Amino acid sequence: MKKFVAIEAGEPVSINSEIISKAWKINKKKNLFIIGNFLLLKKQLHSLGFKIPLIKVKSINDLKFNSKLQILDVKLDFKLPFKINKKKRSYVLRCLDIAHDLSINKKIKGFVNAPVDKQIFNSKYLGVTEYLASKSNLKNKEVMMIYNKKLSVVPITTHIEISKITKNIKPGIIEQKIIVLNNFFINFLKRKPRIAILGLNPHNSENKKSSVENKIIKPVTLRIKKKGIDISGPFPADTMFSKDKRGKYDVVVGMYHDQVLSPFKALYGFDAINITLGLDYIRVSPDHGTAADIVGKNKGNPYSMISAINFIDRYNNND
């Protein structure tokens, strides 16, 4: 039986309703449904002037393959407008939990989660990647990959402060994450990736013996290579994204978030998606935030959302 692709509604005050509806109008896929509050989404689409046929369903068993946008209704226990509060946090996490449960039980092909405000996680989790990893009992095996057909990037550490990066760069964590990355490409994308790994410091700290590069990154890279994984480096970060290097590698692994995401976004913009590797299911999200500054202005770009939906539909054929 053909399964559905879920879109988890994400942050209530955002461009999410806008980009989801634009993506649906362009794709017209019949196997999509939204996990979120029906009345909230209906109100937001009405305010934008979008005329989209909506259907409220109470259970996944009520879903049908049709030309209307179906919404698996999730209770909303707050009123708009609002600030970060327990009720909003509860709603967003409830939507994520439903998407997780449906995915882990193989009821859907996977899900796209629309952007969320990371403040909902307090200090317990760094973001959606870490939240879902915790629910899946993963530790240091979850991998955040920003994917583009030409080049993808993976940060070893994600949303942590710069001052905390060095103490979180550990050989075991680097090795675990690269093995997960390599396995994802082989098992899911059906090809062996060419991986480049970066050093931490400018110019790899000029090859000093006491550097993180020589004490940690280089030895673990050699150990990973002996496992048959196609990995090279560590390379200095400042030249890794230059024109002559592009095309030589499928994935660039960096030591921290902005080291790889800043140049990547400068190169590819909205032409990318965020994939969580290591889970027992496929979770994808658009590679951008909630865009609170343009809410209600009909300026949201749906391209990354469309790419996220298409990725699950195209590559996950485990129906």
pLDDT tens-digit readout, 251-290: 999 999 999 999 999 999 878 999 999 998 989 999 888 8
Which residue in 270, 145, 122, 134 sits closest to 195, CA to CA? 145
Whether the predicted pLDDT of 142 surpasses 90 = no
Task: Say what the pLDDT of residue 240 is.
Answer: 94
Rounded to an integer, what distance in angstroms lies between the CA atom of residue 129 and that of residue 152?
A: 17
The CB density around residue 301, as the number of other CB atoms within 10 Å, is: 17
The total number of residues shown for the chain amounts to 319
Both ends of the chain: CA-CA distance in Å? 6
pTM for the whole structure? 0.87
pLDDT tens-digit readout, 61-95: 999 887 789 999 998 876 655 554 667 788 889 99
pLDDT band at 164 (very low <50, low <70, confident <90, very high): very high
pLDDT tens-digit readout, 9-43: 998 888 899 999 999 888 777 788 999 999 989 98
Domains of the chain: 1-138+279-319 (3.40.718.10), 140-276 (3.40.718.10)
